[in-house]
Amino acid sequence: MINESSNIFAVILDKVRAVSTALATEGVIPNGLDQSRIVVEPTREVAHGDMASNAAMVLAKDAGKSPRDLADAIAGKLSADALVAKAEVAGPGFINLTLKNDAWTSELKALLAAGTDYGRSTLGREEPVNVEYVSANPTGPMHVGHCRGAAFGDALANLLKFTGYKVTREYYINDAGAQIDALARSGFLRYREALGEDIGPIPEGLYPGEYVKQVGQELKDDYSDTLLKKPESEWKPIVRERAINIMMADIRNDLWSLGVVPDEFFSEASLTEEGDQVAAAIDFLRQGGHVYEGRLPPPKGAPVDDYEDREQTLFRATAFGDDVDRPLKKSDGSYTYFASDIAYHKSKLDRGFNTMIDVWGADHGGYVKRMQAAVKALSGGKANLDVKIVQLVKLLRAGEPVKMSKRAGEFVTARDVVEEVGSGAMRFMMLYRSNDAVLDFDFVKVKEQSRDNPVFYVQYGHARGWSVFRNAKTALPDLPEDAVERCRFLAKAPLNRLVDAGEVALMRQLALYPRLVESAALAHEPHRISFYLYELASEFHAHWNRGKEAPHLRFIIENDPQISLARLALVQGVVTVLASGLGVLGVEAPKEMR
């Protein structure tokens, strides 16, 4: 088990709370005030010091004191702290803290000691979390639309693991229902084609893609023409199983090339194969009084041409925050997709997950409320389902939209993207947006080697750091080449030599990382890591260039090995955090990019 690594903001927050408690003990303010709203956060302006707390403003009302007076009292005690250089009261009652340089250097030392475990935390307390993502239908290869969900879900899973949750990555195989039926029929058609029959154009409603040909070919190889003589009821299960196996093998390959390795593939069909788990889940809800037979008003908006008013089996979703009650059975008596999904989520509950995260595409947004309602009903309100909607990806090439024809079965596959730009660049780009913002993905820009391409810019920062180590060989022959050993070696450097404003700014930026990781994990927003890494790289590039104008600021100073060591320690800190963050995102951190 890895210990929680250092987080200087948490340390200072504890100190602020301790001071408040001390003031209560002294009778300055009442006992038992709510300290939960107190925060310590980085300041936006350097003039405001390193970090600021709202403690006085939050406690003032209940304490019966003015925020400024209370702030004075708290600041007075804080300024006596060993880490604090200055505590000032500003504005409506902010307590602005400037830390001693020792605070930053000891944080850097902690970083080097922890290595790429810096930022790792025990926040999640090993709580099981199920993250379900991608879940593409096995009716064809993964296309680019799935990439965003894959990158997002996988990075989120990494992030949660990094912050101490027990994560299961899950892929739901939609291998039941009408679309799979269509796939089976498409496969059978290709089978006849493989046997030499002229099948003409692929009928509407079937899958026209070339990839179905493999199904026909394999069936021919294994069964020659024997399937032709069998009735549909007999050949269909055979074709269906073969088609799903072929498609899933393909999808697993694609996932792997994206760096995604699910822990669990859950088959929708399995819900009804050995015992009817869907019926069981509905019964379970019925016993809780959440299922009834009744009628629904006709759907508003887009007209439903074959609408018939009838009594049906309904889930009382309105009791759990949804807008209408939801049907569980179709008119032919089969289950709706929602019914299967209820059984599926019940399985997650039964497997011990009280925290579930589903990653869905934007077109499923209207489905969120009912699923959350179902989870509430199934768990008696104990479990929580967070649904992350990832918005559309607009594919561009040098600013021009990439044309795709779904009708002809032509689309950009996940494999196409990985082959052209690489999985790392794809993942970073997909994560350089909030999940609920539409994203422009430009094939040309992702490969560009410029500041305009954040993937490159961040990776270049990492490579530049390694370049310094390579150049340090002559001045510091003892410097280990291995990253882990070098971290340990540099942790002993005289860090108190790091006094330049640019150096301190970098140490500050590095110290933000653990706090940022935690907030990103709590918000389920991995894109915050990407933006942070961009800022860190920017700070690093900027400091690098200062050494051009002012040679005494360079990392390697020929006749001063001690300060060189200290500065290399700083570079190592940058390299380590960049590598750590890129690792969480699932993006490689290259040592050189020539």
Partner RNA sequence: GCGCUCGUAGCUCAGCUGGAUAGAGCACCAGACUUCGAAUCUGGGGGUCGGGAGUUCGAAUCUCUCCGAGCGCGCCA
Site residues for RNA, 19-58, by CB under 7 A, read 39, 41-45, 47-48, 52, 54, 57-58
- The alpha carbon dihedral of 515, 519, 521, 527 has a sign of negative
Q: With binding defined as CB under 7 A, does residue 302 bind RNA?
A: yes
C-alpha 291/C-alpha 369 separation (Å) is 17
Angle in degrees, CA 522, 527, 528, rounded to 5: 65
Q: Which of 300, 403, 406, 407 contacts RNA by CB under 7 A?
A: 300
CA proximity to 67, closest of 94, 46, 42: 94
C-alpha 169/C-alpha 134 separation (Å) is 10
Residues 157-196 that bind RNA (CB under 7 A): 174, 176-179
Query: What is the total count of residues that contact RNA (CB under 7 A)?
Result: 107
Closest distance to RNA from the beta carbon of 153 (Å): 16
Q: Which of 30, 205, 289, 299 contacts RNA by CB under 7 A?
A: 299
Q: Which of 224, 226, 449, 562 contacts RNA by CB under 7 A?
A: 449
Burial state string for 423-452 with b = 16 or more CB within 10 A and e = fewer than 16: bbbbbbbbbbbebeeebebbbebbeeeeee
257 versus 391: smaller Cβ distance to RNA? 391
Closest distance to RNA from the beta carbon of 338 (Å): 6
Closest distance to RNA from the beta carbon of 222 (Å): 27
Closest distance to RNA from the beta carbon of 1 (Å): 26
Closest distance to RNA from the beta carbon of 494 (Å): 17
CA dihedral 496, 498, 501, 505 (to 10 degrees): -100
C-alpha 487/C-alpha 223 separation (Å) is 61
Determine the distance from the C-alpha atom of residue 27 to the mean position of all C-alpha atoms in its chain, rounded to a whole number.
Answer: 46
Residues 234-293 that bind RNA (CB under 7 A): 268
Indicate the SS3 state at residue 438: coil
Determine the distance from the C-alpha atom of residue 93 to the mean position of all C-alpha atoms in its chain, rounded to a whole number.
Answer: 36
22 versus 296: smaller Cβ distance to RNA? 296
Q: Which of 312, 318, 347, 354 contacts RNA by CB under 7 A?
A: 312
Q: With binding defined as CB under 7 A, does residue 561 bind RNA?
A: no
230 versus 394: smaller Cβ distance to RNA? 394
C-alpha 228/C-alpha 237 separation (Å) is 14
6 versus 96: smaller Cβ distance to RNA? 96
Count of all residues that appear for the chain in the document: 594
Residues 535-554 that bind RNA (CB under 7 A): 538, 541-542, 544-549, 553-554
321: left (phi over 0), alpha (psi -120 to 50) or beta: left
Residue type, 554: R
Q: With binding defined as CB under 7 A, does residue 438 bind RNA?
A: yes
Residues 95-114 that bind RNA (CB under 7 A): 96
Residues 107-146 that bind RNA (CB under 7 A): 137
C-alpha 331/C-alpha 174 separation (Å) is 21
Q: With binding defined as CB under 7 A, does residue 468 bind RNA?
A: yes
Where does this chain touch RNA (CB under 7 A) — which range of 156-164, 228-236, 527-535, 578-586? 527-535
Can you list the alpha helix ranges (DSSP code H) found in 224-276? 232-257, 270-273
Instruction: Determine phi and psi for 389, rounding to 5 degrees.
Output: -95, 120
Residues 350-389 that bind RNA (CB under 7 A): 362-369, 389
Residue at token pair 């639309």: 145
192 versus 236: smaller Cβ distance to RNA? 236
Closest distance to RNA from the beta carbon of 138 (Å): 10
Cross-strand pairs, 387: 358
224 versus 545: smaller Cβ distance to RNA? 545
Q: Which of 125, 295, 351, 552 contacts RNA by CB under 7 A?
A: 295
Q: With binding defined as CB under 7 A, does residue 407 bind RNA?
A: no
Q: With binding defined as CB under 7 A, does residue 574 bind RNA?
A: no
Residues 193-222 that bind RNA (CB under 7 A): none
| Element at 129 (helix H, strand E) | strand 128-132
